[in-house]
């Protein structure tokens, strides 16, 4: 397979001209690694497949104790309601010992999300395996 830069496959994408720094990556894994390493917290906004991929990466990293950063999911107009239900089922159906609300805050209230970020302290999650 030929090497393709991610930016070249995003039709019509133009880099915002007033950025002080830009990064381009050859793979999604490289991009996600950079996002995680540079962030103090993660805020997930409604989006498509790329957003879901990035969210799953940070959620999995936290569940596997690879990171300890606050993760908040902005559930604008209930956008993530079905996904939140699915994540809750992991613990309910005994596929994980960790409740989803121990990994991420899901809220439609931006003030609540900001308060969560401000008050976040290190968490100790249970071993995820049953």
Percent of the chain exceeding pLDDT 90 equals: 62
Each residue's pLDDT tens digit, 96-109: 889 999 999 999 99
> Residue 129 above 70 pLDDT?
no
Between 92 and 5, name the one with better pLDDT. Answer: 92
Domain range annotation of the chain: 40-119
Rounded Cα distance between 104 and 69, Å, is 9
CATH 3.40.50.450 correct for 40-119: yes
What pTM did the predictor assign? 0.84
CA distances from 75 to 15, 23, 47, 78, 79 (A): 27, 28, 11, 5, 5
pLDDT at position 1: 42
Question: Helices 49-63 and 28-38 sit at what angle, rounded to 10 degrees?
Answer: 60
């Amino acid at each position: 397979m030929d090497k393709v830069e991610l930016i070249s496959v995003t039709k019509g994408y133009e880099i915002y001209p007033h950025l002080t720094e830009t990064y381009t990556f050859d793979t999604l894994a490289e991009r996600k690694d950079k996002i995680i390493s540079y962030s103090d917290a993660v805020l997930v906004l409604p989006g498509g497949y790329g957003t879901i991929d990035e969210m799953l990466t940070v959620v999995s990293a936290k569940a596997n104790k690879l990171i300890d950063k606050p993760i908040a999911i902005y559930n604008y107009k209930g956008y993530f309601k079905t996904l939140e239900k699915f994540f809750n089922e992991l613990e309910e159906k005994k596929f994980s010992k960790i409740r989803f609300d121990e990994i991420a805050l899901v809220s439609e209230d931006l003030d609540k999300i900001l308060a969560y970020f401000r008050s976040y302290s290190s968490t100790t999650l249970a071993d995820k395996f049953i």
